[in-house]
Every structure is written in structure tokens, then in C-alpha cells.
Structure 1
């Protein structure tokens, strides 16, 4: 009888552990990289009763469990296009961890914004040879991720490059030079894994509803043996001048197709809707979350809003999700489910 109970207890513990491992928490979060600058300029975030509140707590109250933080190499002090230094990123990552949130580090490999229209090298890297440039990608990635970990936070994800359908660190890392781009991406991957092999590396492309664009990019990445763990997608119907109802099915198809073609997990690392179209933006978020959750075998990992707290009067950004009185937009309630 005693042997039976021992067997029963061990069996139950085994089932409990395997169930926990099999069902990783779905990431619901936001890029909040403007936050320190907003607070430094005196912007006040408020709860629904009009009381001053910690914005991370306000996001957590709406179901968010993760943050995404961008890193520039040698940024300016401009409040909207600068900051995001290594030191500031470490501080904000620790603040998020203390709130119980997971952290994604997003490398732009530039002194300011990098996106599909611009992938400028940091000024200090301008005259480097390609070999030296690759070394700098490794060193910068390793240094920042190591600093974040030493500060008490092991990032759950690291994004090597930001929206890079045309490559990064132009011209050397352009998609006109896929062999070199592949080497740069692998340098970022290897630097991340050298800090902690459990950190998941993301490669990120915009227009998540555009399957042809994704197949072209990731086919080339496969040919160059680029190393990564997760396919990151942006999804902004606004920027393609369509309502989400016209593109959501394409997004859902593309998510599933990426998993099937490349055997990689997928994640929406940027999404947003118009701040003054609250109901439409909420519906967009609900549909996006559903599309990711519907990816078979739990391979859709999560959804991140891009700068919801970046209220338009401060940022000038129309796809934030905050109201003029300093309170969160009801659109963010989509993350509660």
C-alpha cells in the first residue's frame, strides 16, 4: 500500500510538471520605451479615478505581463527619438521585473530609429570594415544583454534588428548583400546565446499580413542559415491604409504558414490602432490576439502593443492607446482576455 501511494504521488507530480512545461504563458504586453522620458518631462499617468498611478501597474491591470524595450547604440537626449541607452534599458527592465513582467530587448543597431525605411549605422561604426562591423554587432549585443542580466533581469526574448525586410546596418547588411546580412544576424544570435542559451532570439519583419513578403525574407534567411527561434511580425492595418477587417484573415494565414514552412514559433511584436477610434482598435486587438492564439500547438506566443502609453499630446503618435486625461484607453481591455 505504501509503495502504491508513493507511485501515485510521483505520478501526480510528473503530470503537474509536464502540464506546466507544455502550457507556457501567452505573452500580452507593450513596448514602453518612451516611458522614462515621459515621466522625466512631467507627464502624469492616471487611473480611472483620476489618481496618479504607475503606468506599468495600469498595463498589468489590463492583463499585460510583458514589456518590450528598444536599445540605441549612442543615442541623443531627444525625448522622442533619443535615449534608450544601455543604462536606461537596464533600469527599465528591472522596474518591469519588479512588477512581475517578462522582458524583451529590441536592438535597433543604430543611434536612433531603425525601420523598413531607414537602417542607419551608428555614427561610431560608419567607417568600420565588414569584419569589424560584425564584431561590433556581437560586442554590443553581448554587452547590453549581459548588463541587463547582471542588473537582475534575464530577458525572455532578444530581437536582433527592428523591422528588417530590407536588412539592417545599410549598406553592408542590406538584403542586396544577403550573405553579409546573414552573418550580422548570426552575430547577434550568438552573442545572445553566449549570455544565456535560454533567451529566445527573434527576427522581425513588418506587414504581418503580407505572406509573400515574409516568404521571400525567410526563404533567404534559411538559405543563409540564419539562426533564430521566433518569427516576429508587425501588424498595422493603418499603415497599409486598410481596416483590420480587410487584413486579419491574411494575418491569420501568414502566422500559420510561417510555423508550417519554417518550424518556428511566431509572435506579434508590434500592433496598434488609432487612439481616437477606441472601439475599432479594441476589436483589432481582440482579433489579433485570437489569430495568434489560434496558431496550432500553442506556437503563437503573444501580442505586444507598440507604445500604448505614448499619449498623442506628448508623442504626436496617433496609434497610441491613451486618453488626453492621462488614463488608459478602453481599447486596452482587449488584453484582459
Structure 2
């Protein structure tokens, strides 16, 4: 329910000031973004290993819960051949996760709820981020840039054409994940044509990214869905350096959206109240839409399993306590900032990553349950309602 402000200006000002003075509730200002998103990549794995989601005490599909609370975009990561996600369970492993089959099932679940989809190509068999952009094992023997470009094109094109054939073409596609230093350059064998812009390889990186974008355009030519392309950087402080170089030396201009990760406890150069001017600056500089593709914040410092949480002892942001109300207020304020800066939307990273018997490379359970939109009994918490304030 979007707030409708019909009160006299003086009354509205008093109400707004009261809401901003503490973290007891959402900031009372009207705003609506195009996209309120949730990265739900872990959901299938969690549910298949004992995780249960509830709303008002009633067990429900997490996709339905998110839809009912205002989510209209689901983000899903895609790994090339994540065999390790099956092998980590040993003899009990029955399937891979975040491969094409798993992603297909997730897109169907999103579609059943009428939500759009952002498909995040990592171009790796595992996590891609600023520190790691591992080369897929299937591409390890490539030694020529033209062959790598063809491999990236064919993989991207075939993936999207397959999904389109199933009626599941995503509305948005990411070419790489947190590509601060480029793509396809860590754990690379000798002779591999790496694309590391931190070593000056802007032309090579741009050539590979452009072929991935070509694949998106070609795949959508015969589709009723005209998928938009996003490029993704971690930390807004890196956006200008990356896109200044990529759009000139790298020759990459055919994309619609600049996306960045913004975890305010980690990305401290820009405070939440500076997001609007930051986003507006990016829009002006590059004439592109802008989105926050990942964000999160703890609502408690307690834990629910033996898996060490990624946020565990960080000092709080001033004005945003580690409480359910503090998280809700931060997200509401951030959404207002994104709106005021002309941003397209924002996505919360893995808000359904609750404790279960799920395993990953770091442990069993969740390293994120204190940042999820569910309490330790699986019930949705008020932060999930920030999309409807």
C-alpha cells in the first residue's frame, strides 16, 4: 500500500520529521521504483534441504511471499558447470544448483507469481566477484581471444534461446557479476586470453563483453521479450573509473543499465543519504539507467547455526540499529534515495537465505540468516514490507 499524503504541509512536515528522528518505522514519503527485487538463487537448494518459509505463521512458497509483499523482480545467478554444488553433498548429492536446469525451475516459479526476471551470467563455474573471476573448466584450453569471444557468444545465445523456447526469456540480463577488474582472468591456465582490466586489458575485455551483448541482441531478435543488458560493478566508488574506460578504450556502449552492489557496511565511501546524488551523477554522465543490484544489512547479531555469518561484528550505521525496525528503515530510506536520484530500482541479495541443511563451500546452514527477511523460525519480518511503504 503506497502512502498517499493529503495532509497539510505543516502536518506532513511534522510527521516526516518524527519518522526520521529514530528507526522505529519507515520514512513517511511517497515513492515508487520500477523494480523492487530479490535475489532468490538459493531458494530451491534451501527448500530441498529442510528450509521452510512462513508468512503470518502459515507455510507458503517464498516466491508467493515475496510477491505478496511487493517484489516484482527476481534475480537469479547462472554458473557454467557448477558440479561442485552436487559433489559437496557426497553420496547424498542428487543435482546441481545455479546451473541452467535449476535456473529454469526458478524462472518458472517467478513467472507463476507474475514477477520479472534478471538472469545473472557469472561466466564461471563458481562465484564471480571483484576478487575472483575463475575461468570455466570447459574453456580452460582456449588460447585465442577470437575463440573465447565465440565461446562466450555461443554460450550466452544458446542459453537465452533455450529459455525463450520454454517461454522463459528474462527481461533483464547481467553480463558478468561484479566485474571490477573484468571477467575470465583468475585461476587461468598459461596462454588463456585473460580479460583483466586492472592489468590494462580494456580492449580484450570490451571485445568479449560486446560479443556477449551481441548474443543477447541476436537471441531476442525472434523473441517477444526484448531483454535489456546490465553491467555490474561492486561499490559505487568504482563505477566512474570502470565505465569511463570501458565505454571508451573498451568500446562497450550497447547496454541499457549500470548496476552496482552497495553494502553500506562495506562500501563506506558513500553513505546512504548520498545515494540520490550519486545515482543522478551516473545517469547524467553515461545516459544509462541505474540500479542497485545487491544490498543487505543485519537485523540482528544473533546466529541460528554454526556457519559463521558474513556480518558479525561491524559497527552499526548511525541511525540504523541492528533490529527489525532498523533494517526496514534503512531499506525504505535507500529506496527513497534511489527514487530521488532517478534510479530504476534496487535488489536485496539473498533475503531468503535462511538456516537449513543446505551446504556450500563455506559450511552447512547460512552465513546470512541475520540479514534475511525471515526470523529464525522462518517467519517473514517487517523489513520485507519496505517495498510497500
Query: Partner of 2:257 in structure 1?
Result: 230
Match of 2:195 among 132, 150, 173: 173
- SS in structure 2 at match of 1:119: coil
The Cα RMSD (Å) is 2.0
The more displaced of 72-81 and 29-38 is: 72-81
Match of 2:37 among 1, 26, 29: 29
Distance 1:331 1:80 in 2: 35
Query: Partner of 1:316 in structure 2?
Result: 367
Greater relative contact order, per chain length (Cα 8 Å cut-off, separation 6+): 2
Query: Partner of 2:159 in structure 1?
Result: 144
The more displaced of 326-335 and 177-186 is: 326-335
Match status 1:63 vs 2:70: yes
Distance 1:251 1:40 in 2: 38
**Residue 87 (structure 1) shift:** 1.3
Distance 1:251 1:79 in 2: 40
- SS in structure 2 at match of 1:324: coil
- SS in structure 2 at match of 1:159: strand
After the TM superposition, which residues 1-337 of structure 1 pair with which residues of structure 2 at under 5 Å, given as runs?
26-48=34-56, 50-78=57-85, 83-129=97-143, 130-170=145-185, 172-175=194-197, 176=199, 177-196=201-220, 198-208=226-236, 210=237, 213-223=238-248, 224-226=250-252, 227-240=254-267, 247-276=271-300, 277=322, 278-296=324-342, 300-312=343-355, 314-317=365-368, 318-337=370-389
Structure with higher helix content: 1
The structure 1 segments of at least 4 consecutive aligned residues displaced by more than 4 Å after TM superposition are 79-82
Tell me the alpha carbon deviations over residues 166-212 of structure 1, each in whole angstroms, 9 at most, x when there is no partner. Answer: 1110061111211111011111111111111521000000113x2xx
Distance 1:315 1:80 in 2: 18
Structure 1, unpaired ranges of 5+: 1-23
Q: What TM-score does the superposition give when structure 2 sets the normalisation length?
A: 0.74
Distance 1:134 1:253 in 2: 37
Structure 2, unpaired ranges of 5+: 1-31, 89-95, 187-193, 301-321, 357-364
User: Taking structure 1 as reference, are residues 312 and 235 closer, same or farther at Cα in structure 2, changes over 3 Å only?
Assistant: farther
Tell me the alpha carbon deviations over residues 47-94 of structure 1, each in whole angstroms, 9 at most, x when there is no partner. Answer: 11x221110111111111110010000002527996111111112111
Aligned residues: 304
- SS in structure 1 at match of 2:164: helix
User: Taking structure 1 as reference, are residues 322 and 44 closer, same or farther at Cα in structure 2, changes over 3 Å only?
Assistant: same
